[in-house]
């Protein structure tokens, strides 16, 4: 299993718009065969930071996700609510 | 539910010693009433980084954890394997 934490910094005042735009991505990602979980959280101490917590069966599942219709269509739409690029960290079990 | 991601940077060559020292903390934390999950992962792209992924029912559970015998005894022991302080981020559901 591989965990991904993708942290994005939002522009001021766009949280609800961002969540609305992200809803379809979250729903369809959770339906992917290789997806264990795909959830959005907010930094308790910095409301401009939102984080997608993802759990995938393996690298192949991540590859399929990154090439999925919903990922390739929705991610560019989300980036307009963000400041700079997301910080994406991959974690493996030890 | 509150998620905590606590990322520590390890000194070279101490991973196994760190994991051995952390094992009791992980086991006892998972047994705490307010703990939903408490797992350790490693950054796939930076082997010096380990991350504790924690899920707690609420703030009170975290408070109890931070004052628990195992946390207060073991964390100082873990810090000798680390470079600098852990980066701890709290996340809330949105």
Element at B31 (helix H, strand E): helix B15-31
pLDDT computed for residue B63 by the predictor: 98
Residue B84, Ramachandran bin (φ over 0: left; ψ between -120 and 50: alpha; else beta): left
d(C-alpha B15, C-alpha A81), whole Å: 39
Average pLDDT over residues B47-55: 98
> Is the CB of residue A58 less than 8 Å from the CB of residue A32?
no
A&B contacts, CB < 8 Å: 55
Please report the pLDDT score of residue A52 as a whole number: 98
Domain ranges for chain A, please list them. 2-92
Using a CB–CB cutoff of 8 Å, tell me whether B45 touches chain A.
yes
Task: Enumerate the β-bridge partners of residue B3.
Answer: B55, B91
Question: pLDDT-derived band of residue B52, with 50, 70 and 90 as boundaries?
Answer: very high
- Residue in chain B closest to A49 (alpha carbons) equals B91
Contact flag B89-A43 (C-beta cutoff 8 Å): yes
CB atoms closer than 10 angstroms to residue A61? 19
Q: What percent of chain B has pLDDT over 90?
A: 100
Q: Is the CATH code 3.30.70.100 the one for domain B2-89?
A: yes
Closest Cα of chain A to B45: distance in Å? Answer: 7
pLDDT at B35: 98
CATH of A2-92, one of 3.30.70.100, 3.40.190.10, 3.50.50.60, 3.40.50.1820: 3.30.70.100
Taking 70 as the pLDDT cut, the residues of chain A under it are none
Give A90→chain B minimum CA distance, Å: 5
Distance from CA of B68 to the nearest CA of A (A): 23
The model's pLDDT over B59-94, given as tens digits with 9 standing for 90+, comes to 999 999 999 999 999 999 999 999 999 999 999 999
Through-space distance between the first and last CA atoms of chain A, rounded to whole angstroms: 11
């Amino acid at each position: 299993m591989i965990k991904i934490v993708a942290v994005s910094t939002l522009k001021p005042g766009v949280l609800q718009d961002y969540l609305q735009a992200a809803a379809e991505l979250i729903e369809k990602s959770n339906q992917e065969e290789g997806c264990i979980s795909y959830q959005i959280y907010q930094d308790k101490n910095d409301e401009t930071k939102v984080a997608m917590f993802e759990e995938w069966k393996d690298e192949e599942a991540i590859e399929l996700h990154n090439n999925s219709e919903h990922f390739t269509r929705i991610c560019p739409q989300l980036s307009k609510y963000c400041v700079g690029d997301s910080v994406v960290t991959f974690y493996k079990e030890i």
